[in-house]
């Protein structure tokens, strides 16, 4: 079954490619600001559902506007496909504080100081949405047939971080678009003393669990 990865993350693209999945990429733009006092689980589930809905809305808008993106994606009528969405956050030991992409240097420092010499969790939520282009009243529309969410959690322990370490890392430019302000597959690998759980989850997509979700979607009966 065809897969559309509704994500601009190059790391998720790389991981799906490593798993030899055939997929196309579709970027979606959603507001990722957490609500006040929003629990991490509620936030991350809302994000992946919002991204999936945004992708479907975008496809329907392009369909109505007769844009070329649909022909580029090669989506035939009455053939189901999977829209895959994901979101990654860090969560402090209190289980409530969400670590997202840093808005600026001070925000990054604040997160790192809380993770320094401590263990936090990285959560990635993934949603598979089964969608089909369906003729309805002489009008084609993309409709949701099925959807399922998973959340994977991995514990990550950091070394004590000094001001020089944080300054050097921020100046590298690497933290800017990373949940928690760091990339375990990049320079921040030197900060990590141990992980407990899925490594690919920390990178941005729990690969084994995502492949199981894709397989589940492929087995959904279509009437």
Give the catalytic positions in this structure.
Answer: 87
What gap in Å lies between CA 23 and CA 217, rounded to an integer? 14
DSSP state of 101: S
Cα-Cα-Cα-Cα dihedral sign, residues 104, 105, 106, 110: positive
Q: Beta strands 3-5 and 81-91: pairing type?
A: parallel
Give the percent of the chain with pLDDT over 90.
72
Residue 87 · residue 167 · CB < 8 Å:
no
The conformational region for residue 3 under phi > 0 = left, psi -120 to 50 = alpha, else beta, is beta
* pLDDT confidence of residue 18: 93
Task: Give 10-22 pLDDT, tens digit per residue.
Answer: 999 999 999 999 9
- Measured in degrees and rounded to the nearest 5, phi and psi for residue 52 equal -65, -45
Residue 98 · residue 91 · CB < 8 Å:
yes
What gap in Å lies between CA 223 and CA 13, rounded to an integer? 31
Q: Average the pLDDT over 25-50 and give the result.
A: 93
Ordered domains of the chain (ranges, CATH): 3-218 (3.90.950.10)
* Residue 94, burial from CB neighbour count under 10 angstroms (0-12, 13-18, 19+): exposed
Residue 188 pLDDT exceeds 60? yes
What gap in Å lies between CA 30 and CA 183, rounded to an integer? 22
Residue 187 pLDDT exceeds 70? yes
The alpha-carbon radius of gyration of the chain (Å, integer) is 19
DSSP state of 219: T
If one compares 218 and 66, the residue with the highest pLDDT of the two is 218
The pTM for the full model equals 0.90
Task: Give 64-112 pLDDT, tens digit per residue.
Answer: 776 545 555 567 777 899 999 999 999 998 888 888 889 999 999 999 9
Spatial neighbors of 162 by CB under 8 A, at least 6 apart, are none
DSSP reduced 3-state for 71: helix
């Amino acid at each position: 079954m065809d897969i559309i990865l509704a994500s601009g993350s190059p790391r998720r693209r790389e991981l799906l490619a490593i798993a030899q999945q055939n997929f196309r990429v579709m970027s979606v733009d959603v507001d990722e600001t957490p609500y006040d006092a929003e629990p991490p689980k509620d936030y991350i589930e809302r994000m992946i559902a919002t991204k999936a809905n945004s992708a479907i809305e975008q496809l329907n808008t392009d369909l109505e506007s007769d844009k070329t993106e649909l022909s580029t994606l090669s989506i035939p009528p009455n053939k189901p496909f999977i829209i895959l969405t994901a979101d990654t956050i860090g969560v402090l030991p209190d289980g409530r504080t969400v670590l997202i992409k840093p808005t600026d240097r001070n925000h990054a420092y604040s997160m790192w100081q809380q993770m320094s010499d401590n263990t936090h969790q990285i959560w990635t939520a993934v949603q598979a949405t089964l969608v089909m282009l369906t003729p309805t009243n002489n009008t084609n529309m993309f409709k949701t047939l099925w959807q399922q969410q998973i959340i994977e959690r991995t514990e990550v322990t950091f070394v004590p971080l000094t001001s020089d370490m944080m300054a050097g890392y921020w100046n590298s430019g690497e933290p800017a678009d990373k949940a928690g302000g760091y990339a375990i597959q990049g320079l921040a690998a030197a900060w990590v003393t141990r992980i407990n759980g899925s490594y690919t989850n920390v990178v941005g997509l729990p690969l084994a669990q995502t492949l199981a979700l894709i397989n589940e979607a492929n087995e959904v009966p279509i009437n």
